[in-house]
């Protein structure tokens, strides 16, 4: 066995785990790791903020299904990563964050940039650990990747004291390989019971959550739905798990990111098979309304997730792919493929009679028109990245998706600024893909420095900004309080000139103020992005006080269409 620098062993582990790109910022306390990467096959992207690095690793992980890696030095580099770790934890994304640290004998002396990042990170990671001995390096790194991938995926942090990084260890990469990751199978009894409940229901639906996408179980989901002729809904995190142009697609239920006909269909259902869904509060709203009149089967890889929000009639523990495959096999064993019935026809009727308008020609532009143009222009295999705010809600309500891992959204944590670094990560993972970041004006300003990263490394993608010059979601939430406080972003001649800002980074941009000009701007941006190998911005100025359709306490707010929302209940008075 050869003795080598322990950081060379760590880098060899990362290479063998399938890491080809990492995102980070070098600093004094992490330089031994960087020295080891110099001769590796791993590409390093130097970001402008450690939070941006974690979001880029997050985007890379979401589209590859592999473990993303972000690197920072000691002190504030690690604390800057906490938001990214929380985001990955909330959305079940496997990433590993590596932080430099002061020498072990200085940790108790308040040394420069020495902070107990392990204790800080524990609440937002699956595992946070400090490397104590050089000999542990390859095995701690191996375990980090196994933990990140196993069960409900999530983030891991490894803290690397500088003196440990300088050490050596015995390691032979030819004798080492990734640790196996369990794929939990369901019990036969639970599968039979779930199929019994589905077969006995008159109006069942399948609710596909983000777990279906994470498990790469879209084909198994479709096979079960088509065999039993069960309509399929998706959660926000599950968008792309089932094609939205499929006859069995039943929309989205919820209080924010939902379709009107999806809410109506959900409220008429009598059984819900939820696969890889958390029953998040933005989806369920008032639980009494959500649960009334229907039974639930909850499938999840994480046993403690079942019963966390409410108790289902049946819980099935297992990886989404083998569970859905086993249910399909059981259903096929019992009966042949079903023909469309009254329930599937009813869902189709709701879809045809309860759409939202998106064909507005108004000036200022109404936001639904922006998403109509996005749907019409970009091909179905485009990868979209979006974050949090009214534009996320409009995106969830209007944007159509057809393939898994093509619609990426920071759903639970909702950090502003996520989209641009995440889009960088996506494009690094799949340079051949068309990538579009749908952003709000305020969110864009959070981490707009990462545009410099895309410009430096020639990472092309299109940015569509929906600009209402407000903290739009907060402004809308303030309406029941009869106030409009501290949310206006407009100043001077119109606030930040985002076109000039992009040009300062060396990137093209165009502002659109007429609905008929949106498509031409998207065509221009797509062509320029590929020609110049740069991010290109299309800034669409929309109606300043535009509101998104949400829960019933917002019924008094001006809507885009006069038909009342079949909404799941939420009380905004709190």
pLDDT tens, 226-281?
A: 999 999 999 999 999 999 999 999 999 998 888 999 999 999 999 999 999 999 88
**Mean pLDDT, rounded, of the chain:** 92
In the chain, which residues fall in CATH 3.40.50.1220? 188-353
565 has pLDDT over 80 = no
Which positions ≥6 away from 476 have C-beta within 8 Å?
390, 547, 548, 550, 554, 557
pLDDT band per the 50, 70, 90 thresholds, residue 106: confident
String of DSSP letters for 286-339: SHHHHHTT-EEEEEESSGGGTTSSS--SEEEES-HHHHHHHHHHHHHHH--PPP
492 has pLDDT over 80 = no
pLDDT band per the 50, 70, 90 thresholds, residue 485: confident
129 has pLDDT over 90 = yes
Residue 553: per-residue pLDDT? 31
pLDDT tens-digit map of 511-527: 999 999 999 999 999 99
17 has pLDDT over 50 = yes
Listing from the earlier edge strand, what are the strands of the sheet with 68-72?
A: 43-46, 21-24, 68-72, 95-101, 156-161, 127-130
pLDDT band per the 50, 70, 90 thresholds, residue 551: low
For a pLDDT cut of 90, what percent of the chain falls above it? 79
pLDDT band per the 50, 70, 90 thresholds, residue 145: very high
Look up the CATH number of domain 367-548: 3.40.50.970
Work out whether strand 535-541 and strand 509-512 pair parallel, antiparallel, or are unpaired. parallel
Tokens of 360: 């507005």
Q: Rounded CA gap, 165 and 412, in Å?
A: 35
In the chain, which residues fall in CATH 3.40.50.970? 3-175, 367-548
The alpha helices in 131-280, defined as continuous H runs, are 137-149, 162-165, 188-200, 210-214, 218-228, 260-268
CB atoms within 10 A of CB 334: 12
Residue 418: per-residue pLDDT? 95
Region 68-81: what's the mean pLDDT?
A: 97
pLDDT band per the 50, 70, 90 thresholds, residue 561: very low
Tokens 């950081």 belong to residue: 7
Region 101-118: what's the mean pLDDT?
A: 86
pLDDT tens-digit map of 193-234: 999 999 999 999 999 999 999 999 999 999 999 999 999 999
Residue 309: per-residue pLDDT? 95
Residue 24: per-residue pLDDT? 97
Q: Rounded CA gap, 502 and 83, in Å?
A: 25
Query: H or E stretch including 232?
Result: strand 232-234
170 pairs with which residues across the strands?
Answer: 3
Q: Which of 50-59, 290-299, 341-350, 557-566 has the lowest mean pLDDT?
A: 557-566
Which positions ≥6 away from 139 have C-beta within 8 Å?
none
Residue 552: per-residue pLDDT? 56
Kindly indicate whether the domain formed by 3-175 is annotated with CATH number 2.60.40.10.
Answer: no
Q: Rounded CA gap, 82 and 54, in Å?
A: 9
Superfamily of domain 188-353: TPP-binding domain (3.40.50.1220)
pLDDT tens-digit map of 468-482: 888 878 888 878 888
């Amino acid at each position: 066995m050869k003795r080598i620098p322990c950081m060379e062993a760590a880098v060899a582990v990362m290479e063998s785990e399938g890491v080809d790109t990492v995102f980070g910022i070098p600093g004094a306390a992490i330089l031994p790791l960087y020295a080891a990467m110099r001769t590796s096959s791993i590409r390093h992207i130097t970001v402008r903020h450690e939070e941006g690095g974690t979001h880029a690793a997050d985007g890379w992980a979401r589209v590859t299904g592999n473990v993303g890696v972000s690197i920072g030095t000691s002190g504030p580099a690690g604390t800057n990563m906490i938001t990214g770790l929380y985001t990955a934890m909330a959305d079940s994304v496997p990433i590993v964050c590596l932080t430099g640290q002061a020498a072990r004998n200085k940790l108790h002396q308040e040394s420069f940039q020495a902070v107990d990042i392990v204790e800080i990170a524990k609440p937002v990671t699956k595992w946070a650990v400090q490397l104590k001995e050089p000999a542990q390096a390859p095995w701690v790194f191996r375990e980090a990747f196994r933990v990140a991938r196993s069960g409900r995926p999530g983030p891991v942090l490894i803290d690397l004291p500088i003196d440990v990084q300088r050490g050596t260890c015995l390691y032979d990469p030819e004798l080492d390989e990734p640790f196996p990751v369990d794929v939990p199978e369901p019990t036969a009894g639970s599968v039979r019971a779930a199929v019994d409940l589905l077969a006995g229901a008159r109006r069942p639906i399948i609710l596909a959550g983000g777990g279906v996408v994470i498990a790469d179980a879209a084909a198994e989901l479709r096979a079960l739905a088509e065999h039993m002729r069960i309509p399929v809904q998706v959660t926000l995190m599950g968008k792309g798990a089932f094609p939205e142009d499929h006859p069995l697609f039943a929309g989205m239920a919820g209080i924010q990111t939902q379709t009107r006909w999806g809410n109506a269909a959900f409220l008429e259902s009598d059984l819900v098979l939820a696969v890889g869904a958390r029953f998040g509060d933005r989806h369920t709203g008032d639980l009494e309304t959500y649960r009334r009149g229907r039974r639930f089967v909850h499938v999840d890889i994480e046993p403690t997730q079942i019963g966390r929000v409410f108790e289902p009639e049946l819980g099935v523990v297992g990886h989404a792919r083998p569970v859905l495959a086993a249910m399909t096999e059981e259903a096929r064993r019992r009966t042949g493929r079903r023909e469309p019935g009254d329930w599937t026809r009813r869902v189709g009727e709701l879809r045809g009679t309860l759409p939202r308008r998106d064909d507005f020609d108004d000036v200022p532009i109404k936001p639904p028109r922006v998403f109509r143009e996005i749907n019409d222009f970009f091909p179905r295999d485009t990868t979209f990245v979006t974050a949090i705010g009214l534009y996320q809600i409009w995106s969830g309500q209007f944007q159509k998706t057809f393939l898994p891992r093509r619609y990426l959204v920071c759903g639970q944590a909702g950090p502003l600024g996520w989209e641009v670094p995440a889009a960088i990560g996506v494009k690094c993972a799949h340079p051949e893909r068309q990538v579009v970041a749908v952003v709000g004006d305020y969110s864009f300003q959070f981490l707009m420095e990462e545009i410099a990263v895309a410009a430096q490394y020639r990472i092309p993608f299109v940015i569509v900004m929906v600009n209402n010059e407000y903290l739009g979601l907060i402004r809308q939430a303030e309406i029941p309080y009869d106030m409009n406080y501290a949310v206006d972003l407009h100043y001077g001649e119109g606030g930040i000139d985002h076109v000039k800002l992009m040009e300062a980074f060396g990137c093209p941009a165009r502002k659109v103020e007429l609905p008929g000009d949106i498509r031409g701007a998207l065509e221009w941006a797509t062509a320029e992005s590929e020609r110049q190998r740069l991010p290109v911005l299309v800034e669409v100025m929309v109606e300043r006080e535009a509101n998104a359709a949400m829960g019933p306490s917002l019924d008094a707010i001006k809507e885009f269409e006069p038909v009342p929302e079949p909404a799941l209940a939420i009380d905004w008075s709190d």
